Structure 1
C-alpha cells in the first residue's frame, strides 16, 4: 500500500505522467469520433445512392462495411419480386410477372425471388415463379439453392414443386446439401421426398459425414428412421465415427435402439479407438443398455431380416411393398 501511494504521489507531482494519461484518453476519444464519422458518412452515402436509384451500389457498401459475410442482411438491392415472394403476396407477384418483371432477377449476393419464396414456405408463390420460368437450380453466393431453403424450413410442399420441375436433389461436394440440412432440422418428409427423387442416402460430406450421422448428432430420430428405411448404411458416419458413436455420445437411447435394430456394430471403433459404449456418458442409461445388449445374443428374426434386406439391395427396397407376401411379413421386412 505504501509503495502504491508513493507511485500515485509521483504521478500527481510529475507533469509528464499526467500528460501521458491525458494523451491516452484523447487518443481513445479521437478513435471513437473517427469511427462515428465514418459510420455516419457511409450511411449518408448509402442513402444518396438509394435516392438516386443505384440500389446495387448501396447494397455493395452495406455488405462490405456492415455484413462482414454473415448472411444476406441488406435489402437495398431486392427487387419488387423479392419483396412479394418473401412476404407471400401472390397477387402482387402475379401482377409483377404479367408486367414483365424478370423472375430470375438476382441480388448482389445472387439471391433470387424463388429463394425468398421457399424460405418463407410460400408454395403458391413458388408455383407461380416456377411456372413463369424461374431457375429452380439457381445458386446463391454461399452455395444455397431454393431447395435447400425449402428443406431448412421443413417445407415439403415447396421441395416437391422444385423437384417435380427439375431441381437437383443432391448438391455437389463442398456445397450445402439439402439432404443434410433436412436431416439436421428434423424435416423427415423432406428427407423422404429427396430420397424418392434420387438423392444418395450415403452422400458423405467431409466436415459433416453422412445424412444419417447428421441426424444422429442432431438427435432427429424420424429422419434417422427414414434414412435407414431407405437403405442408408448404418455403419457409415463421419470418418471412423459411426452413427452409433454419435447417438451413444448424445445419450439418446431411442436412436441407439433404432440403429441396433438395423444392424449397427457395437464393436466398431472410432479414431480414438473407442467402441460406442465407451463414448457414452458414465453411468448413463445408454451405457447400461449397451452393456446388457452386448451380453445378449441377437434375435434370429433380426438376423434373418438383415440378410434378406442385404440380398434384396437398396435399389430395390421400394419394390418390397409389391411382393406377393402377407402384410405382416412385408411390414417385418420394411421395419413397419
Structure 2
C-alpha cells in the first residue's frame, strides 16, 4: 500500500501482503520501495510468459489501436482463430469464451445439465472451482461456502482419489463428474492413475459427461497443453482461464461436437467474454506456449526443479504446478518473501511454486538457493 494512503475504501475481503508490486519483467518484480523479488506466484499461475513479455505487449498495443470491444452480437475472427488453436489435434469441436475460470465453470455446469436433462454432479473434497454460486457449490471446501446461505443443489462431494466412494455416489440421476487433474488450491493433489481409470470407466458405463477444470493446469502449466493429456481421461468439457490470457482476463470452455446443439442462440452469453483485446493477447500466448519445443522445455525445467528440491521437501504436483509440504505455509511464504522469493500457500501445510513457464535455469537456481537456505 502506498505510504500516502492511510485509509482503504476497499472491502477487506483479501488478506493482502503489505507490499505493492509496481514493476515486472519476466520472472522478476519490484515493489514500491525498490525491492526485487523472484515471482514464483505469477499472478497465481496466470502469467504464462511472465511480466511484460515483448510479444504480448506488441499484440496488446497493436490491437488497442484497432478495436477493443463490440460485444458478441457480431462475428469475431479472433475468437474463431483462438477456438481453432485450442481445439486443434484434440477431440474437441467447440469453444466458448468468457472472462474468468469461475465463469467458465458456470458455463460447464449449465451445459452439462442442459445437455443431459439431469442435475446431479459429482465433485470432490478439497476441490476449488470458483466463487460464483454454481462454482462455489461445486467446490469441495466448506471455508469457501460459509455464510452464503443455501447453495445450488444436487452437488455431491466425495473424497478425492477414493474409487469406492465415487462408485457409491453415481446414480441414474447423475449428469457429470467434475474434477481437477491437480487440486491446486486444495493442496496440490494430483489424480492417481487408478482413480482416473475409475472415473473414465464410470463415465463410459453410465453415459456421464466428464468435466475437467483446467483453469490452473491448462495452457502448458503441467508440461502438456492440457493436464488431462497425461491421463487416460477423455473429457467432454474442459474449462480454461489463468494462463489462457497470460495476464489479460479471459476464460474459456471447450466441448465435444455432440454438445454443440445444447448451446444454441440465446442459451448462454457474456457481455465482455472473448472481446477483441482478450482474444488477441490469448492467441499470442497460446501459439507461443503450444509450440512443442516450449512445452518440452517446461517439462525439463519442472523435472530439474523437482529433482533439486526432492531431498529437502516432499514435492507434489505436475510440471510447474509444484507443491512443497511445509510446517506452516503462511509463515513459510512470509519467510521466503523476506529473502526475495514470492510463493503462495495451497492450504495450511503446502506452498505452491508457480513460476512463469519461460523461467530461466538461472532463475530456477536462484530460487532453489533461497528454498534450501
Structure with the higher strand share, 1 or 2: 2
Q: TM-score range by the shorter chain?
A: under 0.3
> TM-score, normalised on structure 1?
0.24
> TM-score, normalised on structure 2?
0.22
